């Protein structure tokens, strides 16, 4: 086996959860930060809640608002075009509409 190719192993690596819970495991990293543990994960606690660490829900809602605004703008443009199409554009069309 080759010598000095394996990473250093820490017997007492600290795992720190976002809820404040700490525990010790063996790992190649000395300190590990996590978002969920067995004390705060909905599966273990039995409570229903959204876990949104990357702001995915907020990003989705912003995309929906942007899409809705785009749809409204497009509808306004169509209405404006309709009104412009109903108006005579040339002298010939104006004369034709008078008859």
CA distances from 97 to 80, 81, 82, 83, 84 (A): 21, 19, 17, 16, 15
The answer on pLDDT for 95 being more than 70 is: yes
DSSP state of 3: S
Residues 1-35 have pLDDT tens digits of: 688 888 999 999 999 998 889 999 999 999 999 98
- The residues spanned by each domain of the chain are 1-51, 57-99
Among the CATH numbers 3.90.1150.10, 1.10.3720.10, 4.10.80.400, 3.40.50.12780, which is that of 1-51? Answer: 4.10.80.400
pTM above threshold 0.75 = no
Residues 53-85 have pLDDT tens digits of: 677 888 888 999 999 999 999 999 988 888 877
């Amino acid at each position: 086996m080759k010598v000095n190719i394996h990473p250093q192993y820490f017997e007492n690596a600290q795992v720190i959860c976002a809820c404040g819970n700490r525990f010790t495991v063996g790992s190649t990293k000395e300190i590990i930060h996590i978002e969920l543990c067995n004390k705060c994960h909905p599966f273990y606690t039995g409570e229903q809640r959204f876990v949104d660490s990357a702001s995915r829900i907020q990003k989705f809602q912003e995309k929906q608002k942007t899409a809705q605004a785009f749809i409204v703008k497009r509808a306004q443009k169509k209405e404006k075009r309709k009104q412009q199409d109903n108006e005579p554009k040339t002298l010939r069309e104006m004369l034709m509409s008078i008859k």
